[in-house]
């Protein structure tokens, strides 16, 4: 003989598939939240990895102080725009989209204090992050007027293709253009 179908068994046959479908739907529609949680955990539990731009340009540059100098790894070879360039911009491009989590900026012409004071130094920088699909977001950095590297968290900028760095305001002598000794980007580990 066969066992008679009880009400409890019938309920399980209906409830189990409905519950399974509900869990699948929650997983499917909750993906953006899970992605954000995953990114947050990765950003805060792994060491950021340095990433160098594959292309650089600038709105202007002084002789011997090219845009590439800001990304060459040497803190004594700065980029400096022309003194007449009041909205100086430095652009870093990446071949592959990258998730940026930190940036280190070394303002001035050098990390050496005496040389540091000879040129203008950025006080405020606006970073505009352009993604592969053309979307953009900005973040303003306020630097202190001291020699040496300054680290800023970027909060995880996804799919970045280009970063435009605009000098908004400057410390130092008004007759000398600002300089940036080095810019270093870090991606999520």
Domain co-membership, 30 together with 96? no
Poorest-pLDDT segment among 11-20, 34-43, 100-109: 34-43
Please state, in angstroms and rounded to a whole number, the distance separating the CA atoms of residues 169 and 124: 5
CATH of the domain at 67: 2.60.120.260
Separation of alpha carbons 71 and 153, rounded Å: 18
CA dist 127 and 28 (Å) reads 34
- Per-residue pLDDT, 9: 64
Q: What is the mean pLDDT of the chain?
A: 87
Look up the pTM and report it.
0.78
Contact predicate 129/157, CB 8 Å? yes
User: Which residue has 């499917």 as its token pair?
Assistant: 28
Question: What average pLDDT score do residues 139-165 get?
Answer: 95
Same domain, yes or no: 31 and 89: no
* Residue 15: predicted pLDDT: 77
Which pLDDT score, from 0 to 100, does residue 87 have?
85
Structural contact between residues 93 and 161, judged by C-beta atoms closer than 8 angstroms: yes
With contact defined as beta carbons under 8 Å apart, do 168 and 81 qualify? no
Asked if the structure places residue 128 within a domain, the reply is yes
pLDDT at 1: 59
pLDDT range class, residue 98, cuts 50, 70, 90: very high
Q: Within a domain: residue 2? A: no
What local confidence, expressed as pLDDT, does residue 56 receive? 98
pLDDT of residue 86: 82
Q: Is residue 94 one of the residues assigned to a domain?
A: yes
Residues 102 and 116 in one domain: yes
pLDDT in tens, 47-78: 889 999 999 999 999 999 999 999 999 888 99
Residue 37: give the domain boundaries: 7-45
Q: Is residue 66 assigned to a domain? A: yes
Q: Rounded mean pLDDT of 13-30?
A: 79
Q: How far is Cα 9 from Cα 12, in angstroms, rounded to an integer?
A: 5
The angle that helices 31-45 and 7-29 make with each other, rounded to 10 degrees, is 60
d(CA 139, CA 100): 12
Examine the domain organization and report whether 68 and 100 are in the same domain. Answer: yes
């Amino acid at each position: 003989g066969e066992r008679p179908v009880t009400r409890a068994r019938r309920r399980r046959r209906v409830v189990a598939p409905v519950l399974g479908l509900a869990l699948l739907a929650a997983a499917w529609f909750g993906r953006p939240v899970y992605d954000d949680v995953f990114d947050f955990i990765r950003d805060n539990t792994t060491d950021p990895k340095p990433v160098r731009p594959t292309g650089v340009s600038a709105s202007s540059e002084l002789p011997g102080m090219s845009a590439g100098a800001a990304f060459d790894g040497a803190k004594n070879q700065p980029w400096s725009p022309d003194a007449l360039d009041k909205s100086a911009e430095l652009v870093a491009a990446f071949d592959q989209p990258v998730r940026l989590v930190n940036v280190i900026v070394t303002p001035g012409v050098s990390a050496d204090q005496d040389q540091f004071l000879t040129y203008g130094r950025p006080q405020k920088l606006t970073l505009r992050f352009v993604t592969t699909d053309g979307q953009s977001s900005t973040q303003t950095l306020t630097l202190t007027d001291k020699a040496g590297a300054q680290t800023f968290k970027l909060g995880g900028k996804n799919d970045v293709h280009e970063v435009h760095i605009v000098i908004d305001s400057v410390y130092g002598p008004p007759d000398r253009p600002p300089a940036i000794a080095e810019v270093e980007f870090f991606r999520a580990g």
